[in-house]
Structures are given as C-alpha cells and as structure tokens.
Amino acid sequence: MREIYYILLLPVMCGLLGFLIKRLRNEMGFLGFVLTLYFSLRIFLLFQNQSFSYDIASIAGIDFRIYVDNLTRFILLFNALFAFLILLYSVLAMRKMPGESVYQLYLGLTLSGANGVVLSGNLILLLIFWNMLVFSLYGILLVGKKESVLAARKALTIIGVSDFIMMLGILIIYVLMGEVNFPVNQKLPLSNGIYIAVYILLLVGALAKAGAMPLHTWIPESAKVVPASTMAFIPASLDKLLGIYFLVRISYYLFDISQSMPIRITLMVIGSITIIFAVMMALVQKEAMRLLSFCAVSQVGYMFLGIGTCIPIGVAGGLFHMLNHTLYDACLFLSAGSVEYRTRTTELDRLGGLGVKMPLTMFCFIIAAFAISGVPPFNGFYSKWMIYQGVIELHKQTNLWVIFLVSAMFGSVLTLASFLKMIHSLFLGERPKELDKVCEARFGMVTPTLILALLCIIFGIFAEQIPLAHLIYPSLPFLRIEKIGFWSAELTTILMILGIVIGLIIFLLGTGLKPRKSKVFVGGEVLDTEQARITGPNFYSSVHNIDMLEKTYKFGGEGAFDFYNYLRGIFGGFSVIFRDVINQFFVIFYRSLAGVIQALGRVFSSIHNGELPGYLGWIFLGGIIILILVGLL
C-alpha cells in the first residue's frame, strides 16, 4: 500500500530537490523516476485482477479516496515508463536550453499529477489532481526553444476553461448524488436530462485533455516552439493516457453509455471528424513537428470512434489504440527531435537524405510511421483493425456505420501519405550540403527511441498474447470480447518478411545499385544539385489547389476552426456589453443624484431670499412647531 504514496510523492519531491540542488539534478531526477517506475511495476504485479479502495482522509464531508483496479494499474505503469524514457532523452536534449533548471521539476510535477488523477477514487480528488496538471502544463510549455508564451497562453486558456466546465459537471454529480466515489454502486442513468448534461460537461474535460477536435488547437501551436521531449511527454503520451482513461471511466464505469444511442453517435462523430480534418491539415504541413502534431490529433479520433461504438471489441480497440498511440507518437516526436538536435531545423525543405547519417533514428521513425499509418504487422494496425471490427459490428444498430468506417479507413490512407512525405523529406532524397557533417544522435537519445520502436513491433506481433491479454481486456468491464474476422500476426509477419526478402533480391539483381546519374538542364543552363533537389513539402500541394479545399485551408490558416478564437470572441463580446452596463450604472446614479441636489438647491434658494418679513414668518412657524412638540411630549 505504501507504494501508492511513493509514486505520488517521489517524482515531485525528486524534481524539487533537483531544482534546489543544481549539482545533483540529473541524479535526483533519474533516481526519482526509476523508483517511480519500480513502484508502479510493483503495484502492477501486486494487485493483479483485484480492485480495492480506501480513504486517506475525509475533509468537509468528502472522502478523499484511493482506488486501484486493472485500468489504474496499467495506466500507472505506462505513465511511469514514458516519464522515465522522456527523462532519459531530455537529459541530453535539454542541455543548455533556457529554462533547463525547472524542466525536471515540471516533469516530476506532471507525473505526480497524472498518477494522482489515475489513482483518485473520488471525482473531487480527481479534479484536484487534474487542476494541478494545468500548472505543470503551463510551466513546461514556457520552457521552449523559442518564444512559446503564445502557445502556453492558448493551452492555459483551453485547458483551464475545459477544466472549469468539467468541474461544474463533477460538482453537479456530487450535489445530486451526495458522493462520487469509485466504484459506483449503480451506474448513473443517461435517460435523465440533467445526467446527460453532466456527461457532456465531463466529456468536455476528456476532449480537451485527449486533444480531440475542437479543443486540440494548442497542440499544433506548441509543436513549433517547444522541445520535442515536451511534445512527446505531454500531448503525445500522458495527456492521451489521462484523457482516454477519463473517457473510459465516465463512459463505462460512472455512466453506462450503451443505453444512449445519441451520445454514442456524438462520440463517434467527434471521432470521425477529428480523424479526417486533422489528417487533412497534416497532409499540407511544411514543418516536421506541426505535421506530427496534426497526425497525433487525428489518431485521437480513432480512440473516440472505438470507445463510442460500445461494442466490446471496438472499445478494447479504442483503449489499445490509445496505448499504441502513446508508443509510436512518442517515438515519432523523439526521433524528429533527434533530427532537430543534430540539424537545428525542422523545416522539411531544408532537410533530406539523413538516412545514411542517422540509420538508427531512421529505423525508429519508419517503424513508428508504419505503426501510425496502420501498416501490418505493427501495433497501430492491430488496434485499428479492432476498431474497424467494432464499427462493422455496429451495422445492426445504426446506418451511419458506413460513414464512420469510410472515414476511419480514409484517414488511415492519408496518414500513410503524409508519413511517406515526411520519411522522404527527412531521410531519403538528396542531402543538402550543409547537413554533410550530421551524425547519429547521442546514445542517451537513441536508446529511449529504440525502446519505443521495439515496443511498437512487439505489441504488434504479439498483440493478443502480451498487451491485450494482460493490459487491455482485464481493464474493461466486459465479460466476453468477441472477434469477427481472422488475423494471425505471426503468419503475416513471416509472409511479409518473405515478401521483403524476395523484393530485395529482385532489387539487388536488377539495376537498383547502379542508378543513372546525369546533369539537369533548364533552358540550356545546368542546375547544380542543390537547386535540383526534390524536397518533400510540395508532395501534396495539389490537394491545396482543389477548389473547395483551397478556401477551407485558407480559412483554417486564418484561424477559422480555432476554438480558442471563438472562445475569446464570444467572451470578448459579452465583455464589451458588461463593461457598458457596469459603467452606465455609474452615469445614471450620478446624473440622478446631481438632479436631486440641484432641485433641492433651487427650493432652498427660493426660501432664502433675503427679505426680512419672510424670515420672521419662518421664525414664528418654527416656534409654533416646537411648542406643539413640547406639548405633545
């Protein structure tokens, strides 16, 4: 039981000690995160298939309760794993960056907060930890490679506002139910209007945390300006873990969304829209981090789609996709970060041909890119396959399943397309001259990336045996998870490797190693190789020029789809009205006061006219009044 306190306190304590004692910073951080990983692993092994809860305190009639079940165990383990890998990476990557001294403190704070959210057995305690994450998010975004204050502001506003909305939902449940402890005795019904409202309020919190549309806009905004390790840690891994954790908790443990078709459709529509819109944005990006961040947003759509189906296989797929997403997305951000570490740029048209120089990074990147695009046999494929099965199974309940399925598959294709562009621009093609001295990233940076890439492969090939059997299926409240269709990862892997080997042999036997080289002419002038280089960014620029899409992209580029702008606009509009109201009171009051005083003045000045008879009259009148009063008393 003590482990629970350790994993809550160790990260933030070690972060704080490292912040205070500069010399021991890395040691402290390392120690804290390794111990947290160890204790998380212990919790994972110790409390297998059992759930328990106990109260740590009772303040103001609210039980502050810890609750551990299978879902908790598995999220805790991955929280700690990611934190550890990112720390390992950031020790080298963040060296000599501004704000380096507080970076580990924020990492620790975030990990503690995230562990707290997952361990909370009470919605109010969860709210407290959730709120703590706003602090650490804002702080960590400020530690940037460039001026990141705008991105931090946007994140603070969006997350802060959604937190308040979520707070309202939690407090309404608290007031209605009297207690909000896990596990709930009886799931709340979604038939009543007020409960539906509460569910939507809570959903806003989950949407913002997971970064689904329309609350995602701070993620691409920060991608350009914050270090890759921050992107890999918060939007790519921890926020997804927490957001989807919360979504699953409210959808299947607190409420039961299987009763309410409209809510499920809402979730799936949000999912589909997120998939398509975000990937369309990703397709035309010209900067590596932004492209990755849009792809990351797009993948959240699959999780919402899977969880919204309410079909056991689909929900398991959604949860599994969340896990896979954190693995490959963190891996992508870290390898892109390694490229940036060596080349000092993330603009796609200034990069290229780095495959020879950075083979390990390329390997990791390609594995993760295939995983995110859903290429078998990697992990992303398996979870997407499960989600597809869930959506297909939906055909008995709604006719919209076709749209969901098409958008999910189409999104997958577009993801692959954008990653082909990115792989080409980073690792293939002609190398610009100034990148000739680039070499492989440091050992400490490649190791975490490699670990993540290997996990992507293992979780893909042995999906049934390892992650699904031990992590995903036990975490869900379904007794039986039925699969439709047939898939054998081992067989596919063998066949694919066989195919690749045959392809390689044909390639080597043919002209593959003897490319034809000649000069490039334009109008009789010989271009040097630098000018003739084919860079990636314009791969799909024709998409940009399709009539309707052109306008949409232009609109989007100007911030038309940015919730942040609408939020500020709406509140700003009300604000102008309110300011006028508040000032008008002032004017009205003082005008009326001045009127009264002037009227009184006029009356008195007419009395006070300086004529003796008048004054004598007043004196007599006063005397009579005094006499009457004396007589009365």
Name the minimum Å distance from CB 478 to another protein: 34
Task: With beta carbons less than 8 A apart as the criterion, state whether 263 and 196 touch.
Answer: yes
Nearer to another protein, 180 or 354 (CB): 180
Name the minimum Å distance from CB 193 to another protein: 11
The span from the CA of 119 to the CA of 116, in Å, is 5
Task: With beta carbons less than 8 A apart as the criterion, state whether 219 and 137 touch.
Answer: no
Neighbour count for residue 55 (Cβ, 10 Å): 13
Name the minimum Å distance from CB 218 to another protein: 13
DSSP 121: S
Name the minimum Å distance from CB 567 to another protein: 8
Nearer to another protein, 197 or 603 (CB): 197
Binding site for another protein (CB under 8 A): 57, 59-61, 124, 127-129, 131-132, 134-135, 149, 153, 156-157, 160-161, 164-165, 167-168, 171-172, 174-175, 194, 568, 571-572, 574-579, 581-583, 585-586, 589-590, 593
* Helix, coil or strand: residue 55: strand
Neighbour count for residue 292 (Cβ, 10 Å): 33
Nearer to another protein, 92 or 165 (CB): 165
Distances (CA, A) of 137 to 128, 227, 441: 15, 13, 27
Nearer to another protein, 131 or 492 (CB): 131
Name the minimum Å distance from CB 124 to another protein: 8
Nearer to another protein, 116 or 312 (CB): 116
The span from the CA of 378 to the CA of 81, in Å, is 20
What are the two backbone dihedrals, phi and then psi, of residue 525, each rounded to the nearest 5 degrees? Answer: -95, 140
Nearer to another protein, 85 or 124 (CB): 124
Nearer to another protein, 59 or 513 (CB): 59
Nearer to another protein, 168 or 454 (CB): 168
Element (H, E) at 446: helix 443-461
Task: With beta carbons less than 8 A apart as the criterion, state whether 138 and 156 touch.
Answer: yes
Nearer to another protein, 178 or 631 (CB): 178
Residues in the chain: 633
The span from the CA of 238 to the CA of 242, in Å, is 6
Name the minimum Å distance from CB 164 to another protein: 5
Nearer to another protein, 124 or 232 (CB): 124
Name the minimum Å distance from CB 99 to another protein: 11
Nearer to another protein, 147 or 434 (CB): 147
Beta carbons within 8 Å of 527's beta carbon, 6+ residues apart: 519, 520, 521
Task: With beta carbons less than 8 A apart as the criterion, state whether 435 and 353 touch.
Answer: yes
- Name residue 57's beta-bridge partners: 64
Distances (CA, A) of 501 to 125, 461, 504, 507, 508: 55, 19, 5, 10, 10
Question: Residue with structure tokens 């650490």?
Answer: 136
Name the minimum Å distance from CB 213 to another protein: 20
Name the minimum Å distance from CB 157 to another protein: 6
The span from the CA of 340 to the CA of 328, in Å, is 18
Nearer to another protein, 153 or 483 (CB): 153
The span from the CA of 553 to the CA of 62, in Å, is 49
Name the minimum Å distance from CB 586 to another protein: 4
SS (H, E, C) 508-549: HHCCCCCCCCCCEEECCEEECHHHHCCCCCCCCHHHHCCHHH
The span from the CA of 448 to the CA of 450, in Å, is 5
Nearer to another protein, 17 or 167 (CB): 167
Nearer to another protein, 175 or 513 (CB): 175
Task: With beta carbons less than 8 A apart as the criterion, state whether 137 and 153 touch.
Answer: no
Name the minimum Å distance from CB 217 to another protein: 15
Name the minimum Å distance from CB 199 to another protein: 15
Name the minimum Å distance from CB 194 to another protein: 7
Nearer to another protein, 509 or 587 (CB): 587
Name the minimum Å distance from CB 170 to another protein: 10
What does the block give as tokens for 306?
A: 């899977």
Name the minimum Å distance from CB 2 to another protein: 21
Strand 62-68, strand 52-59: pairing: antiparallel
What ranges in 254-378 are assigned the alpha helix state H?
261-283, 288-309, 312-343, 359-373
Task: With beta carbons less than 8 A apart as the criterion, state whether 420 and 412 touch.
Answer: no
**Which amino acid is it at 608?**
H
Nearest residue to 102 via CA among 135, 133, 139: 139
365 CB-side CA count, 13 A: 26
What does the block give as tokens for 200?
A: 């939507």
